[in-house]
A and B are shown apart, each in its own frame.
Chain A
Amino acid sequence: MTETPQWLDEEAGPVVRPYALIRGRTRSSGDMFDLIATVRVVDEPPGDAPSDLGPEQQTILRMARSPISVADVAADLDLPIGVVRVLLGDMRDHGLISVTSPSAARPRPSSGILKEVINGLRAL
């Protein structure tokens, strides 16, 4: 992330171990989020939504203003998938974001979609 002080390079290792962000938990309601599930902010979060979000969760809220995949969130935050799933699971439980799995949205791609992909790949 850009706010990382410059004297902390990659070799210094993480200042905060990733699992400290999620208070040592490795399990949450987000366990089963597909890597390509779509994350997006909820337009009107419930009134009892927590206001003390950590910086990572605030970043996720900004990222998810337009739909973004779970894998993209993890790659952009440079955090392991497992940590991101816990963060996302909490945020969903608090009604801040929605997470839609691709299979729920569309069980199987239509042949029309696949033809579009083929043409799109050729045009790259």
Chain B
Amino acid sequence: MDSGLSEDPVALKILIAGGFGVGKTTLVGSISEIKPLRTEEVLSERGIGVDDIDGVEAKTTTTVAMDFGRITIREGLVVYLFGTPGQERFWFMWDELSYGALGAVVIADTRRLTDCFPSVDYFEQRGTPFVVAVNCFDGAERHSVDDVRIALDLDDHVPVLLCDVRRRTSAKEVMVTLVEHSLRTLTAAG
């Protein structure tokens, strides 16, 4: 075992975003050791009215569960995956999660494409490199990658790919596409 003398490990963070029930947990589980991670957060103004907390003075906290996965590339090089909470009222957590993130995967379901608009907007505004992974659910009408790109009004450089998040090979392809995209973005930024 290494003692505390070893060099600091390199830790990279990738976010998995998208609407509720779109396959975020499945994607994280397909490719990494997955653990649930709890965070207790102070409910923001936006949350008030969603939860019935009338009459409760001051602030209150709520428990938010996130999916958390780790992929050990080698000793000292680890990629962490965080499934962002889908509900909009937990958006205040995103700033922390996205700080220093290498990039993000936005999972889209063509039956409910609008669900991923907020995620796309968020990462575009923050300048976080992201890819759109269209999860091909059984029975979902197949759309071409180009249709999705147009519907989401994505810049040409944003990769869009079809995937099946239940399959490890497909999940791997999504992750590789994202890191390649992040690499291009970093290189371009100098």
Contacts and interface: CB of A to CB of B under 8 A. Distances in A.
Q: Do A and B come from one complex?
A: yes
Interface of A: 18, 34-38, 40-43, 65-67, 69, 71-72, 74-76, 78-83, 100, 102-103, 105-106, 108-109, 111, 113-118, 120-122, 124
8 contacts: A36-B12, A36-B13, A38-B11, A65-B3, A65-B4, A67-B9, A75-B68, A102-B10
Contacts, number: 123
Contacts of A67: 2, 4, 6, 8-9
Contact of B73 (A41, A82, A116): A116
Given A35-B80, A124-B168, A105 B8 contact: yes
B4 A71 contact: no
B100 A124 contact: no
B4 A18 contact: no
Contact of A117 (B2, B4, B38, B73): B73
Contacts of A74: 37-39
B160 interface: no
A121 B68 contact: no
A85 to B, nearest CB: 10
Given A108-B186, A109-B12, A113-B77, 16 more contacts: A34-B100, A36-B100, A38-B8, A38-B11, A65-B3, A66-B2, A69-B80, A74-B39, A80-B40, A103-B100, A106-B10, A113-B10, A117-B73, A117-B179, A118-B176, A120-B77
